[in-house]
Amino acid sequence: MSSPDPTASARDHAADELAPAAAPGPTAPSSRRSRRRRLAVLAMIVSAVALVVALAAGRSGGGSDARASGTSVASQAAAAAETRGSGAAAAAQTGSTPAGEVDPLAPLPKSRAKVVSPVAGEATETDTAAGGSRAASPQDDLSLPTPKGPATKTSRSQTQAPAVRDLSVDQATALPNGVALPPLEAPESVLQVIRAGNTIARTPYKWGGGHGSFKDNGYDCSGSVSFALFSAGLIEGSRTSGGLMSWGQPGKGRWITVYANGGHTFMEVAGIRFDTSGRQVTGSRWQNEFRSTAGFVARHPAGL
């Protein structure tokens, strides 16, 4: 038998020694990946713990500590959302309204307004709060002189405008100032007669006045009636009292009636009297009071 080759034995031994070391060669990369995974999991655990600590600090009022520990904007938003969610859930359970929101069904608060009656010349709480008491002005003294006698009775002046109560639908009114207030509803011819009568109502009585010319400084009875009728186009010119006895239509009219006899004439317009004899009472030809028509002929313009 031949003796063993020492060189071959050495190679075999070396191969046996190297074999265990070479075997792990193909599995080395997987070991490194496993370690990296473990490190990643550990990092995630640490991050989760830090997030929990940050959330706990945010709930307990430690927002600045959470920011100091490196909490990101996303984690702060998540913490705020969680806080709002928990607040809403608590409000739903307790029936209350979260802080910062208004319950539209809540009852109105009771008014605590205080009625203050400040005294003239004294500083109020508002004046004091605005900068102390203010200086009194002469206008603060509203005292009036003491009356020396009883008040006199007041009456409507003769030049005062007529009151609304004096107006009537179809009745004229002789005012204290001597003019006639026409009714609210009357034909235009009636309004013209009243306007013309107002222009001469307080003029003097003048025998024959208004017959030679309607532009005169005084008028007698027939001249006054003729002047008013002529202004409305109801007569062709001036007439005497006797001439008016046959003028127009016989009888009383709806708006205008002329009463005439051989010595005097006057007329009724919308319920009031136009008569020169009235000047002796009120100073005006217009009169609210009527007079006897015995001995007079009644005539009226056609249609009126």
Nearest to 189 by CA among 245, 234, 244: 234
Please state, in angstroms and as integers, the Cα–Cα distance from residue 248 to each residue in 103, 189, 242, following that order. Answer: 87, 15, 13
User: 245-265 pLDDT, tens per residue?
Assistant: 999 999 999 999 999 999 999
Ramachandran quadrant class, 298 (left: phi over 0; alpha: psi -120 to 50; beta: rest): beta
Rg (CA), the chain: 60
Q: Is the pLDDT of residue 25 over 70?
A: no
CA atoms within 13 A on the CB side of 256: 28
Top-confidence residue, 33 or 234? 234
As a whole number of angstroms, the distance between CA 44 and CA 92 comes to 35
Under the banding of pLDDT at 50, 70 and 90, the label for residue 20 is very low
User: 178 and 201 in contact (C-beta within 8 Å)?
Assistant: yes
Torsion of CA 41, 46, 48, 54, to 10 degrees: -170
Provide the 3-class DSSP secondary structure of residue 198. Answer: helix
Top-confidence residue, 122 or 105? 105
Nearest to 136 by CA among 120, 157, 159: 120
pLDDT of residue 39: 75
Sign of the torsion angle spanned by Cα atoms 89, 94, 96, 98: negative
Q: Which CATH superfamily is domain 167-300 in?
A: endopeptidase domain like (from Nostoc punctiforme) (3.90.1720.10)
User: 83-117 pLDDT, tens per residue?
Assistant: 554 554 455 455 555 555 666 666 666 666 666 55
pLDDT of residue 46: 73
195 exposure class (CB count in 10 Å sphere: 0-12, 13-18, 19+): middle
Question: What letter represents residue 248's amino acid?
Answer: G
Count of H helices and E strands in the chain? 9, 8
pLDDT of residue 150: 59
User: 163 and 173 in contact (C-beta within 8 Å)?
Assistant: no
Question: What letter represents residue 299's amino acid?
Answer: R
User: 212-232 pLDDT, tens per residue?
Assistant: 899 999 999 999 999 999 999
| Residue boundaries of the structural domains of the chain | 167-300
Top-confidence residue, 116 or 139? 116
Q: Is the pLDDT of residue 8 over 80?
A: no
pLDDT mean over 27-53: 71
Phi, psi for residue 69 in degrees, rounded to 5: -80, 5
pLDDT of residue 138: 46
For the chain, give the mean pLDDT: 73
Helix-helix angle 221-231:188-200, to 10 degrees: 140
Q: Is the pLDDT of residue 164 over 50?
A: no
pLDDT of residue 288: 93
What the block records as the tokens of 109 is 């608060």
Percent of the chain scoring above 70 in pLDDT:
52
What the block records as the tokens of 51 is 């997030």
DSSP string, 164-208: GGG--SS--EE-TTS-EEPPSS--HHHHHHHHHHHHHTTSPB-TT
Q: Is the pLDDT of residue 22 over 50?
A: no
Q: Is the pLDDT of residue 139 over 50?
A: no
pLDDT of residue 281: 83
pLDDT mean over 174-184: 92
As a whole number of angstroms, the distance between CA 92 and CA 83 comes to 14
pLDDT mean over 132-149: 49
User: 265-296 pLDDT, tens per residue?
Assistant: 999 999 999 999 988 888 899 999 999 999 99
pLDDT of residue 81: 47
